[in-house]
Amino acid sequence: MLGFDRFTFTQSKSGCIHSSDVLSFNITNLPIQLRDGIVVLTPRFLQGHLCQAVLIAGCMNHIALCKASAMVGHASQNDFCTKCKATHDVLSTSKGLKDIFPHRTGEENRKFAFLYRKIDNEDGKQSFFNKHGVAYTELAQLPYFDMFEMPFWVGQLPSHVNYPAAGSLSADEYKSLVLIYLPAIIPFIWSEWQPVAAKEHEAALKKWRQKGRQTDLEPKIRMHENELSNFLKLTASLKILLGCSVCEVDIECAKTHLLEYLQGYQKASLQVSSMSCSSDL
């Protein structure tokens, strides 16, 4: 795993902006017997080739990704996106929300990187960089590594989750949904819409009481305030239990989170049930 980031440590109006790069390599849970490398049989090395490190994935934000892959970055008009070739002027339009633009590939980026490297003058390099938005990066030396491809172990979700057209999710897709996508999305949804749901419920409840509580069932709130924190307890538990390795201390922690989630879920369910019962009475 490659971790990479940049930060500015000094800046002045009369001088250039200086930045530092923080680069780290992480090998998670590497067994002791593999620390000297493994022998891999390849067409070129029929007797085996000693492999001591393979770069699996890069973990970085958008700005760091552009720097690591030697791309021009988000300020560019034509090459601001690392996924596709959309131009910056369509970013805030309805067209920019659709996946209709040609995708970038690691192979194309690698080709431009080596073409850039062959240019022997600074003006030519700058002209090439302005046209294609790519310079040379040492990562281009890794023929198997694609900077723009999501790792295969991250499940790709259907376009219409929870709709019949999307079909049933696989176990891997459920895992990615609960551990990756929902924890990133739900906090924003709850922050924006839970207060709105609470006001709507309060207004509906007031109207229901004014009618004498005889016509309809008591209105139920759509989004409970505690549902977000309760869901994250489930996510924390599954994150531990579905990890590559786990120890006894981790299991106890996971059990605690899972129990708290179940208790929170039960409490929310009982509140809804009691609301229904009280309306029947």
Number of Cβ within 10 Å of residue 49's Cβ equals: 13
- Angle at 23 (CA atoms; ends 80, 82), nearest 5 degrees: 15
pLDDT at 271: 59
Backbone angles phi, psi at 96, to 5 degrees: -70, -15
Note the pLDDT tens digit of each residue in 56-68: 677 777 777 787 7
Q: For 119-164, write each residue's pLDDT tens digit.
A: 999 999 999 998 888 899 888 888 777 777 765 556 667 777 777 7
Rg from Cα positions in the chain: 26
Residue 79 has a pLDDT of: 83
Tell how far CA 204 is from the center of its chain: 37
Q: In 170-219, which ranges are E strands? A: none
Residues 78, 89 contacting (CB under 8 angstroms): no
**Cβ neighbours, 10 Å, residue 72:** 17
What residues are paired with 39 via a beta bridge?
50
Distance between CA atoms of residues 116 and 176, nearest Å: 38
Q: How many CB atoms lie within 10 A of CB 248?
A: 7
Closest CA to 232 of 252, 254, 257: 257
Interatomic CA distance for residues 79 and 125, integer angstroms: 16
Q: Which two tokens mark 100?
A: 């209709």
Q: Which residues of 177-187 are buried (b: 16+ CB within 10 A; e: fewer)?
A: bbbeebbeeee
> Is residue 223 a contact partner of residue 197, using CB atoms and an 8 Å limit?
yes
What ranges make up the beta strands (E) of the chain? 2-10, 18-25, 38-40, 49-51, 58-59
- Comparing C-alpha atoms, which of 66, 106, 101, 76 is closest to residue 86? 101
* Predicted pLDDT of residue 169: 79
For position 114, what pLDDT does the model report? 93
| CA 279 vs CA 75, 102, 160, 161, 270: distances in Å | 58, 56, 36, 34, 14
The pLDDT, as a whole number, for residue 10 is: 45
Regions of the chain with pLDDT less than 50? 8-19, 274-281
What is the predicted pLDDT for the residue at 128? 92
Which pLDDT does position 181 carry in this prediction? 85
C-alpha span between 174 and 235 (Å, rounded): 12
- List C-alpha distances in Å: 179 to 83, 173, 240: 23, 10, 10
